[in-house]
Amino acid sequence: MKVEYLHEGTKECPLIRIFGGLPDEYKALYDAIGQLANGDEETVSLKSLHGFEAENNCNIKLIRSPKDIGLNALNNNNCYEWSLCIKSWSVVYDLISPFTNKNNRLSSYQWLSGKEAYFPLLNGNVSLLISLDGSW
C-alpha cells in the first residue's frame, strides 16, 4: 500500500493519497483506526502498519485528540499529523470499511480529510484520499 503526497497538479492539492493495497493492508489500517475510535490507542504511525510503503518518506501520525484538528504538515520532512476526536475517528472507521472487503475490488475512493470530505472531517490544510488504484 502506498502513501504519497501530491503538492500540486489538481484542485484538491495539497493531498495525500493512500492506495494500491491488498485487502489485508486496508484491514490493517481499518483495525488501527478502530483502536483510535474505541479509545484503545492514542497514536498510530502509518509507516508502522503492515504493507505500508511511504513514497518520498511520507508518513502520517494518527492521533486521538480532544478536538478535531485535521491533517496538517509538521515540517518540510514530509511528515504529517492527523488529529481527530474519538467520534470523528469512528466516522473514518465507517468510511474505510468497504475497502476491507475482498470482493470489492472495483475502482473506488473516499475522501477522509479536507474540503472534499464529509463533516466533521473538513479541518486541516492537507486533504486525504483513500483509493484502490490511486484515482478519484
Asked if residue 78 belongs to a domain, the reply is yes
Provide the residue range defining the domain that includes 126: 2-131
Asked if residue 59 belongs to a domain, the reply is yes
Q: How many domains does the chain have?
A: 1
Asked if residue 55 belongs to a domain, the reply is yes
CA dist 9 and 27 (Å) reads: 30
Amino acid at 127: S
Asked if residue 136 belongs to a domain, the reply is no
- Of 111, 116, 108, the C-alpha closest to 135 is 108
Asked if residue 116 belongs to a domain, the reply is yes
73 HSE (CA, 13 A, CB side): 14
Rounded to 5 degrees, what are φ and ψ at 90?
A: -65, -35
Asked if residue 93 belongs to a domain, the reply is yes
For residue 54 the three cell numbers come to 511511504
Per-residue pLDDT of the chain (136 residues; tens, 9 = 90+): 999 999 999 999 999 999 998 889 999 999 999 999 999 999 999 999 989 988 888 999 999 999 999 999 997 788 999 999 999 999 999 999 999 988 876 668 999 999 999 888 999 999 999 999 999 9
CATH number of residue 113's parent domain? 3.30.1360
Asked if residue 125 belongs to a domain, the reply is yes
Asked if residue 21 belongs to a domain, the reply is yes
Q: Which residue has the cell 483502536?
A: 35
